[in-house]
């Protein structure tokens, strides 16, 4: 402990109260699986009763998918210096197909561990890494193809269902579970996500479970178009700004606000040490782009990159526990000139590094030529591929061009190769695409890459709104999610302009939760509409607290309401600031219903049977209604 | 002047510098029409030259559609006490089909004018209203159907084109004008918007020009799906908060940020006087919901509303110059019970008022039964109908239900009737709709309402994000705009929570500009991609200032950039804060191009002909490139 400077300990070891306090009126539950150590977190939002109609009507709690990890569990003891509990450790050990190494097997990993100057930055409790025993394959896809349902798969099934089957048996939820039939564009979404369904989707390559054996702390989740649409968030320091403390706190914020996975895109100093801190405290899968770090090792000179150095980086990061790697192996030499006439050339960092390497050496990149060896590393730790779109369009003009689609076809070829190694694969997608060209991206990806999960950045549907690119891209994201993208990579308001701060991360995440949820609703994912229905019922009944609590960002909803009507009494007021006390459409509608109910008949019947003669009476009564307010 | 209290004068007569200063590096131009008094405003954004490649390359100015009115014209003398110049007055007088009245012909208008207690609030220079001469019809639709091209129509043609035809002749724009072919779902968007095209669209009822003869200050604009997608903004005080000064300033902000039309939804005191101030200073069409004011006159008791009182309100507002009225004439008695089983009943204020009236009287509403008389009033001042969707869904669960669509069918019937009077009509739409059910709304509207322009609120694609409903609805808006909605009614972050402040208005407007522009790009509106291409080229070439200036919100783009890199020098830095000076994808791509150019051959050729033998040389050179930074 003494090696870590005091201010660092103080900042990171004690997360601020605001990032760890439980969500309002929420209970953290754990769904019990088939064995004691399968305990799937779930947040349940408690509601107040409906008071408007005589006897109070109970409003049942609403379960929501919970990404926040142990940080929102009042019973959990959080100690960033020790890291999260290794909940998957027993599962990994039981499989008896891995071995614990004496220490890092990468040169770089060993050098960093031995460097006394890094002691003050280093995470204290570094585990010795595990690796597949010789000849063994430890990927979830491998198990799935053997017909094995892993604890991870069962965990995911329970997580995706969010207690829906129980709720269906409970009459309190019958009206709340009403839902529009979806349009899923050929997806095969089941009524119930069973462990066997999870297994079969992973076996088919239609879904992945990013879960490195060296990241036992993670709460398993799945990425595939027959499951809930997920969102990825990015953090990362750079040469210009940001520190370890900030990055770890951003990771916890990301979990809190709803990030399903997180990429550490750091390009500055000490990224090895930063990554260790993040991984040991991350309840979600962590992804990286190893080429960024490799480039640091050659002082930014892309042409000096070598396979050996890249290989060492892969092993270094795999042994730390990174769950998925973006690898731009689809940037082929012949595709680079296809970008010459573009408005914005190559905008992917990884893509431009590899393009430069290819041109300098006039050879296919080592990522492409050594792909089989990369697969062998991936399968030894179960790192999933995120095959990078190095030639993605950086503006509307360049969308869906030959360079982009040529690379996508190569990614399909590589997907097949990776699957021969039972490696898990997802495919990255653009970028900047006008609305009417979004669907072509999904259709082509599904065909060319054999339904491997699609993972897209946005896309932005226009280039003209820097400072609002969470929104330009959120529009594209909702659409592409609906069409079949399995995971949406978030974009913050600072995209193209600077590094996101905490508020930017929050805005980016909530925007993408909206996009992902909008896609789930449109696809008709079972139970997706429950939260909407509950919130709308609360809104209609002026249960302000419930409306805030059921929303994606309860704190901001409350804050915005308070800006106009700060008093506590207004939280139960049967009107809102928009219309004032005498004039509220919701109140009028409720009055109409109440009147009909008072007559002992439905509104419908009242209209049919007796309203004509009762009109006068109603008029008298009705005229009094508003005086009460 | 003395009647107006000094603090009011001070606040409203002098708008803050920030709301009137010209946009950065922008020139306000006027396109000259066929007669001296047709001068169409246009903003042109100047660009800096490209410096990266030897001899500087000129980047031509980019014209953009300008909604900001005289407020951003340094040559204009703004005096809110006098109002804007009456640019359409001569056109109206020349037609010689109107007469000036001695004063307001509505009872309420006369009473307000005579009330000495209102003197301190009253706009000083109230004009005597004009009205059609007996037997004359003064709507733009009427002229259009007579084959007359009005100055308003020519103005609009020039405005929609944004100098595109000139630009096409100019070689500096040839690459910048590249554009994806659109998918317009059956719209008929012309390559050039001619005055005759405007006329024919208005004659067919596919577009409207909201332009009351008593609002001569407005800069004509058009709403129709074969034109640019427009956005509407809402302002309005309420019984709880807000004042005249704030509302006038919000109107100017709305113009500045890009609002095409504006609805004054005030429900509080002094709405007659507030409206006068807004109209006299508004360069955009102003809409209202007259039933709100009528309800004030009966102290909020919907069942006491009468046709006579409503009629008086219509005339009062028409004579002030309101350009379009939302009228909920489609809420028929038989439809009200269809809402009884909804999650959120009737959420439209106008809809719930009329529903209550219908039930109380057990009769069809006076809006429905007196529709022909309403048409006669509308045609006497050229007020356009915005047929209200009083039964729009207030949540995802209620989307596209029978109540909603039954009303829509009635709106179609009323459209036909209005057209018999040559009245201009648009149709309001929802609301809350999941993504996959958005298109059905447009398809049904186009069919049931005979292609009358659709004007939708959002729709929100989920209910669960209060405080972010500009985004939930912006997603729906971009989609519905693409499918064929002509105007998108904005939603602010405060929707469902409170009254929007200035920042909320800004966030709402920019979000909707994104949605509308995203729709224009997807529909393939000619020239729509120019601004995207120019901004992306600037971005690629690290022309930061140009990137800010070309964006929808230049001030916020600059502010966000400055948060990470505040120094002036960084505005010309060939890197950005995201990646640091040694590591930038844009720079790498540019280096690749520069290298190829230096060899006197294109990258493409370099690759084909000689890169293999030049690889070593490039490697040496390339390795130096980054040291300069």
Residues A266, A247: contact at Cβ < 8 Å?
A: yes
Domain A226-523 has CATH 3.20.20.540: yes
Find residue A87's DSSP bridge partners: none
Residue A596's pLDDT is: 52
Residue A628's pLDDT is: 31
Give yes or no for residue B389 having a pLDDT over 60. yes
Q: Where exactly does CATH 3.20.20.540 map onto chain B? A: 226-523
**Listed range (A354-368, B291-305, B567-581) with the worst mean pLDDT:** B567-581
Percent of chain A with pLDDT over 90: 72
The two tokens of residue A408 are 């996508």
A411 pLDDT tier (thresholds 50, 70, 90): very high
Which has the closest alpha carbon to B534: B46, B160, B41?
A: B46
- B522 to A434: CB separation less than 8 angstroms, yes or no: yes
Give yes or no for residue B626 having a pLDDT over 50. no
Rounded to an integer, the average pLDDT of B426-454 is: 98
Residue A603's pLDDT is: 44
Has A391 been labeled as part of a binding site? yes
Which has the closest alpha carbon to B162: B291, B40, B317, B4?
A: B40
**Listed range (A87-96, A349-358, B214-223) with the worst mean pLDDT:** A349-358
Residues A223 and A219: their CA atoms lie apart, in Å, by 13
Whether the CB of B347 is below 8 Å from some CB of chain A: the reply is yes
Residue B3's pLDDT is: 43
User: B168 vs chain A: nearest CA distance in angstroms?
Assistant: 17
Has A541 been labeled as part of a binding site? no
pLDDT digits (tens, 9 = 90+) for A203-227: 999 999 999 999 999 999 999 999 9
Residues B403 and B420: their CA atoms lie apart, in Å, by 26
Rounded to an integer, the average pLDDT of B305-310 is: 97
Residue A572's pLDDT is: 52
Residues B500 and A368: their CA atoms lie apart, in Å, by 53
- A344 to B497: CB separation less than 8 angstroms, yes or no: no
Which residues of chain A from 121 to 150 reach within 8 Å of chain B, CB to CB? none
Residue B235's pLDDT is: 86
Exposed, middle or buried by CB within 10 Å (0-12, 13-18, 19+), for A79?
Answer: exposed
Residue B624's pLDDT is: 33
pLDDT digits (tens, 9 = 90+) for A297-324: 998 889 999 999 999 999 999 999 999 9
pLDDT digits (tens, 9 = 90+) for A534-565: 999 999 888 999 999 999 999 999 999 988 76
Range with top average pLDDT, A19-23, A335-339, B149-153: B149-153
Whether the CB of A498 is below 8 Å from some CB of chain B: the reply is yes
Has A122 been labeled as part of a binding site? no
- A561 to B497: CB separation less than 8 angstroms, yes or no: yes
- A359 to B592: CB separation less than 8 angstroms, yes or no: yes
Give yes or no for residue A602 having a pLDDT over 60. no
pLDDT digits (tens, 9 = 90+) for A28-39: 999 999 999 999
Of A474, A536, A585, the CB nearest to B343: A536
Give yes or no for residue A67 having a pLDDT over 70. yes
The more confident residue out of A567 and B289 is B289
Tell me, what DSSP letter sits at residue A86? Answer: -
Residues A396 and A380: their CA atoms lie apart, in Å, by 40
Give yes or no for residue B217 having a pLDDT over 80. yes
- A536 to B626: CB separation less than 8 angstroms, yes or no: no
Residue B238's pLDDT is: 57
B370 pLDDT tier (thresholds 50, 70, 90): very high
Residue B246's pLDDT is: 78
Give yes or no for residue B607 having a pLDDT over 60. no
Rounded to an integer, the average pLDDT of A188-210 is: 98
Residues B623 and A301: their CA atoms lie apart, in Å, by 6
Single pTM value for the model? 0.92
Considering chain B, what is the average pLDDT of its residues?
88
Exposed, middle or buried by CB within 10 Å (0-12, 13-18, 19+), for B363?
Answer: middle
Residues B539 and B10: their CA atoms lie apart, in Å, by 42
A236 pLDDT tier (thresholds 50, 70, 90): confident
Give yes or no for residue B289 having a pLDDT over 80. yes
pLDDT digits (tens, 9 = 90+) for A124-169: 878 899 999 999 999 999 999 999 999 999 999 999 999 999 999 9
Percent of chain A with pLDDT over 70: 86
A498 pLDDT tier (thresholds 50, 70, 90): confident
pLDDT digits (tens, 9 = 90+) for A240-264: 445 777 788 889 999 999 999 999 9
Find residue B288's DSSP bridge partners: B325
**Listed range (A58-67, A579-588, B187-196, B619-628) with the worst mean pLDDT:** B619-628
Residue A56's pLDDT is: 85
Give yes or no for residue B513 having a pLDDT over 70. yes
Q: Is the ipTM of this complex over 0.90?
A: yes
Exposed, middle or buried by CB within 10 Å (0-12, 13-18, 19+), for A602?
Answer: middle
The more confident residue out of A329 and B299 is A329
Give residue for tokens 């200036």: B549
**Listed range (A47-56, A407-416, B607-616) with the worst mean pLDDT:** B607-616
Give yes or no for residue B616 having a pLDDT over 70. no
Which residues of chain B from 267 to 306 reach within 8 Å of chain A, CB to CB? 267-268, 292, 295, 299-304
The more confident residue out of B121 and A29 is A29
The more confident residue out of B9 and B444 is B444
- Return all residues near A478 (Cβ < 8 A) that are at least 6 apart: A514, A515, A516, A518, A519, B435, B461, B475
- A583 to B494: CB separation less than 8 angstroms, yes or no: no
Exposed, middle or buried by CB within 10 Å (0-12, 13-18, 19+), for B60?
Answer: middle
Give yes or no for residue A395 having a pLDDT over 50. yes
- A344 to B547: CB separation less than 8 angstroms, yes or no: no
Residue B594's pLDDT is: 58
Give yes or no for residue B591 having a pLDDT over 70. no
Nearest residue of A to residue B269, measured between CA atoms: A580
Residue B601's pLDDT is: 44
Percent of chain B with pLDDT over 90: 72
Residue A126's pLDDT is: 82
Dump the DSSP string for A121-167. TS-S-PPPPEEEPTT----HHHHHHTT---HHHHHHHHHHHTTHHHH
Give yes or no for residue B125 having a pLDDT over 90. no
Residue A581's pLDDT is: 47
Residues of B in contact with A397 (CB under 8 A): 178, 180, 529, 532-533, 536
Query: Which sign, positive or negative, has the C-alpha torsion B162, B165, B168, B169?
Result: negative
Tell me, what DSSP letter sits at residue B227? Answer: S
For Cα atoms A191, A196, A198, give the angle at the middle one, nearest 5 degrees. Answer: 75
- Return all residues near B144 (Cβ < 8 A) that are at least 6 apart: B150, B153, B199, B200, B202, B203
B439 pLDDT tier (thresholds 50, 70, 90): very high
Give yes or no for residue B248 having a pLDDT over 90. no
B9 pLDDT tier (thresholds 50, 70, 90): very low
Considering chain A, what is the average pLDDT of its residues?
88
Residue B625's pLDDT is: 29
Residue A567's pLDDT is: 62
Give yes or no for residue B595 having a pLDDT over 60. no
pLDDT digits (tens, 9 = 90+) for A519-534: 999 999 999 999 999 9
Whether the CB of A612 is below 8 Å from some CB of chain B: the reply is yes
- A301 to B461: CB separation less than 8 angstroms, yes or no: no
- Alpha carbon of residue B122 to chain centroid: 28
Residues A10 and A4: their CA atoms lie apart, in Å, by 10
Which has the closest alpha carbon to A488: A159, A244, A304, A260?
A: A260
């Amino acid at each position: 402990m003494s090696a870590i400077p005091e201010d660092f300990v103080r900042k990171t070891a004690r997360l601020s109260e605001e990032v760890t306090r439980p969500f309002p009126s929420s209970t953290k539950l754990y769904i019990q699986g088939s064995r004691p150590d399968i305990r799937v977190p779930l947040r349940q939002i408690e509601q107040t009763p409906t008071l408007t109609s005589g006897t109070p009507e109970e409003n049942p709690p609403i379960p929501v998918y919970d990404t926040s990890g142990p940080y929102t569990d009042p019973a959990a003891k959080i100690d960033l210096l020790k890291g999260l509990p290794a909940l998957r450790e027993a599962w990994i050990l039981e499989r008896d197909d891995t071995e614990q190494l004496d220490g890092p097997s990468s040169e770089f990993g060993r050098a960093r561990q031995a460097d006394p100057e890094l002691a003050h930055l280093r995470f204290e409790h570094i585990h010795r890494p595990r690796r597949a025993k010789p000849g063994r394959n430890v990927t979830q896809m491998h198990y799935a193809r053997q017909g094995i349902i892993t604890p991870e798969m069962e965990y995911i099934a329970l997580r995706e269902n969010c207690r829906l089957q129980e709720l269906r048996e409970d009459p309190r939820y019958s009206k709340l579970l009403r839902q529009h039939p979806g349009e899923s564009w050929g997806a095969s979404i089941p009524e119930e996500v069973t462990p066997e369904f999870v297994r079969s989707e992973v076996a088919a390559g239609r879904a992945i479970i990013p879960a490195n054996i060296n990241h036992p702390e993670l709460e398993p989740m799945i990425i595939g178009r027959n499951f809930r649409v997920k969102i990825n968030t990015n953090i990362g320091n750079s040469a210009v700004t940001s520190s370890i403390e900030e990055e770890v706190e951003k990771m916890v914020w990301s979990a809190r606000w709803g990030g399903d996975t997180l990429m550490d895109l750091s390009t500055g100093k000490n990224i090895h040490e930063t990554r260790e801190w993040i991984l040991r405290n991350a309840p979600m899968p962590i992804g990286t782009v190893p080429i960024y770090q490799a480039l640091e090792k050659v002082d930014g000179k892309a042409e000096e990159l070598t396979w050996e150095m890249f290989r060492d980086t892969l092993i270094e990061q795999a042994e730390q526990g990174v769950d998925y790697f973006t690898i731009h192996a689809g940037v082929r030499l012949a595709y680079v000139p296809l970008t010459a006439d573009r408005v914005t050339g190559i905008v992917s960092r990884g893509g431009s590094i590899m393009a430069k390497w290819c041109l300098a050496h006039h050879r296919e990149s080592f990522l492409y030529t050594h792909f089989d060896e990369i697969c062998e590393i991936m399968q030894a730790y179960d790192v999933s591929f995120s095959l990078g779109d190095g030639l993605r369009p950086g503006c509307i003009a360049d969308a869906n061009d030959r360079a982009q689609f040529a690379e996508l076809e190569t990614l399909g070829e590589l997907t097949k190769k990776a699957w021969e190694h039972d490696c898990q694969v997802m495919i990255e997608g653009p970028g900047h695409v006008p609305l009417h060209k979004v669907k072509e991206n999904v259709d082509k990806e599904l065909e060319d890459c054999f339904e491997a999960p699609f993972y897209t950045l946005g896309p932005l549907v226009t280039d003209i709104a820097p400072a609002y690119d969470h929104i330009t891209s959120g529009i594209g994201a909702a659409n592409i999610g609906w069409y079949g993208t399995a995971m949406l990579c978030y974009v913050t308001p600072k995209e193209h302009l600077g590094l996101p701060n905490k508020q930017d991360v929050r805005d980016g995440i909530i925007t993408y939760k909206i996009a992902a949820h909008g896609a789930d609703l449109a696809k008709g994912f079972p139970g997706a509409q429950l939260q909407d229905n509950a919130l709308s019922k609360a809104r209609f009944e002026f249960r302000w607290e419930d409306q805030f609590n059921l929303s994606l960002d309860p704190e901001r909803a409350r804050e915005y309401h308070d800006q106009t009507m700060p008093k506590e009494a207004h939280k139960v007021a049967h009107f809102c600031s928009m219309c004032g006390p005498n004039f509220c459409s919701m109140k009028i509608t409720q009055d109409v219903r109440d009147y009909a109910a008072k007559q002992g008949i439905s509104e419908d019947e009242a209209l049919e049977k007796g309203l004509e003669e009762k009109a006068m009476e109603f008029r008298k009564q009705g005229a009094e209604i508003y005086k009460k307010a």
